[in-house]
């Protein structure tokens, strides 16, 4: 239904590459390599000899997109898997064909064609398929989504409909991505990845567990004022809650108070904005000759090791690896 093809960042993995009696083991290795450490069992014992599946994978900046086609199975991420690998990702299964179930945090999300659900690799989960299916799976670093959403644990394994609203928009963007993914320039790819995340967040925010009381006009005004001040002073390495408060003529407690309904604290927001700015600068052709450290210092970082560590945690790769995507 939504198949990606071609391109240097694209790979197709298939159980056709091995003998039938090895396919389930090969499939388990495949899904561990593409996603996180997992186990897989057939739904019916006699399915082992008939098992087949394929994964077509494509990587965008800070977002992996893959299309999975396979038969009936039960996929598990257990406490043991988590203990052996500290992967911190959110995954989103978008059902393209067939039926699927995402089970996590005591909830089951039943997915029909067009529906999607979120799950978190830092806690156990199961994916259940009773027949042949096709899914589009999005994989993004955990901190990336937590910077946009509060209480993500309440949003996992909950069905978001693809028939209307943000869910419908997400499917439309995935279709467009399928058509253009091999011709996207790095800066455009980053914009698309950010757009997919924004629509995903919008869809998750429609869930009852995500609905928070609306901000008053006055609070919204003060929040926008603080955020604008942060953006204007982002390059200043001494930027802090205290300096923001002084610039605006308010108290530090006021700055914290207007951020109370936000997923990030003011300090976290500052670092988030700096990292986002650096990610854009590293893909900017006009800055191709500028050293990575200089870009980081220009956005308010004053410690190269801290920048590199924070960047990897946020985007899943080093700043240099990120920049290499532009060269490719």
Question: How confident is residue 3, by pLDDT bands cut at 50, 70 and 90?
Answer: very low
Same domain, 142 and 171: yes
131, exposed or middle or buried, with CB in 10 Å at 0-12, 13-18, 19+? Answer: exposed
Q: Are residues 268 and 303 in the same domain?
A: yes
113-146 tens-digit pLDDT: 989 999 999 999 999 999 999 999 999 888 888 8
Contacts of 256 (CB under 8 A, 6+ apart): 241, 265, 266
The reply to whether 166 and 291 lie within a common domain is no
Query: What are the tokens at 225?
Result: 């004022």
Can you tell me the distance from the alpha carbon of 83 to that of 7, in angstroms, rounded to the nearest whole number?
A: 35
Task: Select from 161, 178, 210 the last residue of a domain.
Answer: 210
What mean pLDDT is predicted for residues 313-318?
82
Q: What are the structure tokens assigned to 8, written together?
A: 């240097």
Per DSSP (E only), the strands in the chain are 10-14, 39-41, 53-60, 63-70, 73-77, 89-97, 100-104, 107-111, 116-120, 125-129, 133-141
Interacting residues of 297 by C-beta distance below 8 A, sequence separation 6+? 237
Q: Are residues 171 and 94 in the same domain?
A: yes
Pairing of strands 125-129, 73-77: antiparallel
Predicted pLDDT of residue 213: 59
In this structure, the answer to whether residues 188 and 265 fall within a common structural domain is no
Whole-angstrom distance, CA of residue 261 vs CA of residue 212: 8
Is residue 210 very low, low, confident or very high in pLDDT (cuts 50, 70, 90)?
low
What residues pair up with 128 in beta bridges, in sequence order? 74, 101
Same domain, yes or no, for 256 and 178?
A: no
Say whether pLDDT at 98 is over 80. yes
**What per-residue confidence (pLDDT) applies to 139?**
92
Both 202 and 234 in one domain: the answer is no
What is the pLDDT, as a whole number, of residue 209? Answer: 73
8 pLDDT exceeds 80? no
The per-residue pLDDT for 2 is 36
CATH of the domain at 226: 1.10.10.60
* pLDDT tens for each residue of 279-295: 989 988 888 889 999 99
* pLDDT value at residue 78: 95
Instruction: Give 46-63 pLDDT, tens digit per residue.
Output: 777 788 999 998 877 778
- State whether 94 and 190 are in the same domain: yes
The answer to whether 133 and 70 are in contact (CB under 8 A) is: yes
Range of the domain at 234: 217-327
Question: Contact 47/72 with Cβ under 8 angstroms?
Answer: yes
Buried b (16+ CB within 10 A) or exposed e, 223-252: beebbebbeebbeeeebbbeebbeeeebee
CATH number, domain containing residue 136: 2.60.120.10
Same domain as 255, residue 200: no
């Amino acid at each position: 239904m939504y198949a990606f093809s071609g391109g240097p960042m694209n790979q197709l993995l298939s159980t056709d590459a091995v003998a039938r009696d090895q396919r389930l083991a090969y499939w388990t290795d495949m899904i561990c390599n593409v996603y996180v450490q997992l186990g897989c069992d057939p739904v019916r014992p006699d399915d082992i000899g008939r098992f087949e599946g394929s994964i077509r994978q494509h990587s965008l900046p800070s977002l992996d997109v893959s299309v999975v086609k396979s038969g009936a199975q039960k996929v598990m991420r257990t406490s043991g898997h988590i203990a052996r690998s500290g992967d911190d990702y959110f995954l989103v299964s978008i059902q393209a064909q067939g039926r699927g179930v995402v089970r996590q945090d005591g909830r089951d999300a039943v997915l029909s064609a067009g529906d999607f659900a979120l799950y978190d690799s830092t806690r156990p989960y199961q994916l259940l398929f009773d027949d042949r299916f096709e899914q589009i799976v999005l994989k993004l670093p955990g901190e990336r989504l937590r910077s946009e959403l509060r209480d993500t644990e309440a949003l996992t394994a909950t069905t978001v409909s693809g028939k209307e609203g943000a869910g419908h928009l997400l499917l439309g963007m995935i279709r467009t991505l399928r058509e253009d993914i091999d011709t996207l320039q790095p800066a455009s790819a980053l914009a698309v990845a950010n757009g997919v995340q924004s629509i995903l967040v919008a869809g998750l925010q429609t869930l009852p567990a995500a609905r928070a009381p609306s901000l008053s006009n006055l609070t919204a005004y003060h929040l926008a004022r603080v955020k604008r001040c942060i953006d204007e002073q982002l390059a200043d390495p001494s930027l802090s809650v205290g300096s923001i408060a002084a610039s605006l003529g308010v108290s530090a407690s006021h700055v914290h108070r207007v951020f109370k309904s936000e997923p990030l604290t003011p300090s976290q927001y500052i670092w988030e904005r700096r990292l986002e700015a650096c990610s854009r600068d590293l893909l900017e052709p006009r800055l191709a000759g500028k050293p990575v450290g200089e870009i980081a210092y220009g956005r308010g970082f004053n410690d190269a090791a801290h920048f590199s560590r924070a960047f990897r945690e946020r985007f899943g790769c080093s700043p240099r690896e990120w920049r290499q995507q532009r060269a490719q």
